[in-house]
Chain A
Amino acid sequence: MSTAAAWATPPTRTELIENLVSGVDRYNPSNVGILEDYLYHQIRSEEYDCLANLAIVKLYQFNPDLYNPDVVINILIKALTSTPFPDFNLCISLLDDRPANTNPDEPDPLPSLLPVITELHNLLQQCRFPAFWKLYRSERAESLRDNYTVECVGFEDAVRRVVVQTVKAAFKRIGSDRLSTYLNLTGDDLAAYVEKLGWTLDSSSGVISIPPNPDNQIESTVVQENIQLSQLVKVIAHSQVA
């Protein structure tokens, strides 16, 4: 169940991190290392904690000296796969007035990568999944792939989870060709992935059935007015008096 409470407080969050996220210690610049380590832990173990990552960006906002572009890029990559939730924008919101890069020896990779990441995010947000994969596999995203997403365990599967969430809400059945372009999987890979999801592929027609869920069951209803006794108390009480 995708409750917002689990988003605000993921079960994988440790007490140490919880204290940083919820307490005033989140403002202490010397804690940035702990939060950054936690981010790299998320990268390695397919966990995700938006609020903890926002706390890092917050520290960067108040202490521009702490700013570490690699960390920011990793945070954005993590936020990318939480679409359609607005995590990506929430992170960008805090990345304001960063000082111009003053060190020519260590060029900041963010300015060149940010447009690509943002475009990837927009494509996901607009459910243009085939275009997402095309851009992701393109030369423009090469540096992003080779330096960042390759380190992020299960990144592509995380994108596929975004796709699956969307598809299972909108479809009862979907052609496997179409799904193949959405998931960027073909042949046996696709069949295996579909099976793992518990969806069924009818191999003769190439149509995949998606089990019923609250979003792909539609029903016409008429909402009738529901009058509660409490609304009538005054009227009834008065008629007794009269």
Chain B
Amino acid sequence: MAQQRKALWEADLDEEFHDVDLNLAIGNYGQNGLYDDAQPRIDEATLIAVQQQVAQQAALAAIPDPVKRFIVHFHQAVLDNNLAEITVAYESGWNRLTDKFYAKTEWPEAETIAPLVNDDQIFLILYRELYYRHVYSRLQPDIDDRFHSYENSCELFNYLLNSDGPVPLELPEQWLWDIIDEFIYQFQSFCVWRSKVKSKTDEELMLLVDGSQVWSSYSVLNVLYSLIQKSKINEHILALQQGKSKEEINEIVGEYGSRPLYRMLGYFSLIGLLRVHSLLGDFTLALKVMESVELNQKSPFTRVTACHVTTYYYVGFCYIMLQRYPDAIRAFVSILNFILRMRQYHTRSYQYDQINKTADRMYALFAICNALSPSRVDDNILNVVKERYGEQLAKMSRGEEGLPAFEELFLYACPKFISANPPPYEEAELLQAYIEDPPVEPAQRHLSLFLNDVRAKLPVPTLRSFLKLYTSLDASKLANFLDADEEEMVQQLMVMKQASRSISRVENEKGLLGGQTISTSDLDFVIDVNMVNIAESTVGRRYAGWFIRNTEHAQRVLDTLRNTPLPSFKPAAPTAATPIKDPNASAPANPPRTGGQRVAWGGVKAA
């Protein structure tokens, strides 16, 4: 049954499908002839369609009334472009009904509910978008689901990109982000599923041979690049940075880019590209496509928290793969602090779990960076890392035996890497060879490259611990301590020197790839023939943040006290201010003792 219904589906789509290659952006290389064979199946399909109609009427009758009402209401909200109503339906209604009726089964098929929405094709596409997302997140998608969700995404993007002019649709930003996010997730999920040859049934193998262009890297990139071009989002961001007025910007970005729907889809597609390129192992290109984006929390595009978090995760990860640890650390610190601050508002959001998981992976990545390039950027974050990954953190500074800790954290926290190409399904012989001698999994490949770099730097922590004890030391003596050959040890010192320098972005530099060489270590040394001279930079204790916070806190307490009327008699309130005022003025300049405890920025929470 499912098989035959598929034929109908393809027949319906046939004409539109030839437009789906979205060749606006990067061309349809090797994707022709996709659905050529659908035509002869139509007659058979028509017959089945009649039978199906009967079945569908029965199915419609079986849908619970609250769900029917919800769908009708949802449809109306979309028709009216009523963002508030759509948001309610999207963020709470759908999830509530899912929990109640569809926790373990699919939502009704789009064809079944079509009569409820006057067969509104656009709404049905949006409905299927939710339908398949539900299948992916709560159930096990089968091959039909995977193929159909791809077709539905194509239809959606086809509608958005290839209609006559911009479409009059409006959707909440969160949903727009979810559309792009889910599109890439399904692509990644398909690639992983596709690469597992052994578990495929004969039918699946056949479909995979035919549908070799379904979820191809080219088609996914095409969608993202097309949305970026259509919305002129790069031009838009540039214009914003130049301080152009709203009218000027609208002039620049044209009829598509001036609409929120296209503007946001364009921006989310940039982040989508960052993610897809990272998944495919192209870390330079991933950062390069973000060239015009300024990473800060004031941009008008950062209202969707999930998008914001994703951006920093992938940017940080790419920096790790470029061995730019200070930049990676900065990215993680910035977003992890953001998440800590946001926590109080977000605990009930349905994305909270997802954000928390990503945050935890970023703490793990931070631990890796900190082991490779120790710094005291943010004690607050470092404390959380010590709490969660203290054991690994300790191991990672112990040379050879620390390697498993690097491996463990990397595999836990890295993106779900994919291969660009499917196994050779179309050639039985090659496929057999593939099964017998499968290629190394993408995550393992990237891990081994990463570990190569780690391995090169393994001697550094030990050398460092020795050098810390001296201001000058003879190389032969140091070699003796380490029980190493002097020449080899000198070469390791050069590695240490290299590890203490890194490319890092400097303030206000454009683009994420730019940067200058900076020194990342507080311990520096130079070799004078055979004498190692060592110098250490120390950071003085930091008081200001603590005092400023507490002064402000004291002021708030005082204000509250003052504004609270005493119940019985009239107080001479203003005099109370005098003794407090004095420490206000002098505290930052003249700090009292703090019991020797190290307190840094943000170390103490001002409630």
Does A51 count as interface, using CB distance less than 8 angstroms?
Answer: yes
Stretch of B129-137, B247-255, B263-271, B487-495 contacting A (4+ beta carbons < 8 Å):
B487-495
Residues in B neighbouring A116, C-beta threshold 8 A: none
Residues of B within 8 A of A122 (CB): 452, 456
Contacts of B491 in A (CB 8 A): 126-129
A10 contacts the other chain (CB 8 A): no
B528 — nearest CB in chain A belongs to which residue?
A172
CA distance A99 to B424 in the complex (A): 8
Q: Is B585 within 8 A of A239, CB to CB? A: yes
By CB atoms of chain B within 10 A, which of A22, A122, A231, A235 has the most? A235
CB distance from A110 to the nearest CB of B (A): 14
B288 near A: Cβ within 8 Å? Answer: yes
Contact of A8 among B288, B495, B516 (CB under 8 A): B288
Q: Which of B89-97, B111-119, B275-283 contacts A (4 or more CB under 8 A)?
A: B275-283
Task: Flag if A27 contacts B29 (CB, 8 Å).
Answer: yes
Q: Which residue of B lies closest to A165 (CB)?
A: B498
Measured between beta carbons, the chain A residues less than 8 angstroms from B490 are 178
Of A4, A126, A222, the contact of B515 (CB 8 Å cutoff): A4
Nearest-neighbour CB distance to chain B for A88, whole angstroms, equals 9
Query: In the bound complex, what is the Cα–Cα distance between A22 and B543 (angstroms)?
Result: 47
CA distance A120 to B526 in the complex (A): 26
Asked if B217 and A62 make an inter-chain contact with CB atoms under 8 angstroms apart, the answer reads yes
Interface flag for B511 (CB, 8 Å)? yes
Stretch at the interface among B155-163, B339-347, B476-484, B544-552: B544-552
Which B residue's beta carbon lies closest to that of A208? B529
Q: Is the CB of A63 within 8 A of B515?
A: no
Please pick, from A22, A24, A63, A217, the residue contacting B526 in the complex, using a CB distance under 8 A. A217
> Which residues, 172 to 230 on A, are CB-close (under 8 Å) to B?
172-175, 178, 207, 215-225, 227
Residues of B within 8 A of A221 (CB): 537-538
Number of residues of chain A lying within 8 A (CB) of chain B: 70
A138 at the interface (CB under 8 A from B): no
Inter-subunit contact A8/B537 (CB<8 Å): no
Residues of the B chain whose Cβ atoms lie less than 8 Å from the Cβ of A96: 281, 419-420, 439, 442, 445
A61 to B524, CA, bound (A): 42
Judge whether B72 is part of the interface by a CB distance below 8 angstroms: no
With a cutoff of 8 Å between Cβ atoms, the chain A residues found around residue B225 in the complex are 24
Docked CA distance A173–B526 (Å): 9
Q: Are B526 and A5 in contact (CB under 8 A)?
A: no
In the complex, the answer to whether A94 meets B282 with C-beta atoms within 8 Å is yes
B555 lies within 8 A of A86 (CB): no
Tell me, in angstroms, the Cα distance from A232 to B513 when the chains sit together: 35
On whether the beta carbons of B534 and A207 are closer than 8 Å, the reply is: no
B433, closest chain A residue (CB): A100
| A222 pairs with B527, CB closer than 8 A | no
Residues A169 and B497 in contact in the complex (CB < 8 Å), given A89-B452, A93-B282, A93-B321:
yes
Distance of A29 Cα from B303 Cα, bound (Å): 38
Instruction: Provide a sorted-by-A list of 18 A–B residue pairs whose CB atoms are within 8 angstroms.
Output: A3-B514, A4-B513, A50-B284, A58-B285, A62-B217, A62-B420, A93-B446, A102-B430, A170-B497, A171-B528, A218-B525, A218-B535, A225-B543, A227-B588, A231-B544, A238-B555, A242-B555, A242-B558
The 6 closest A-B pairs by CB, nearest first: A127-B494, A4-B515, A218-B535, A93-B281, A170-B497, A8-B513
- A contact set with B: CB distance below 8 Å: 1-5, 7-8, 22, 24, 27-29, 50-51, 54, 58, 61-64, 84-86, 89-90, 92-94, 96-97, 99-100, 102, 122, 125-130, 166-167, 169-175, 178, 207, 215-225, 227, 231-232, 234-235, 238-239, 242
Taking A90-B321, A223-B538 as given, write out 17 further A-B residue pairs in contact, using a Cβ cutoff of 8 Å, ordered by the A residue number: A4-B515, A24-B229, A50-B284, A90-B284, A99-B421, A102-B430, A126-B495, A128-B488, A128-B491, A169-B497, A173-B528, A178-B490, A222-B538, A231-B544, A231-B548, A232-B548, A235-B552
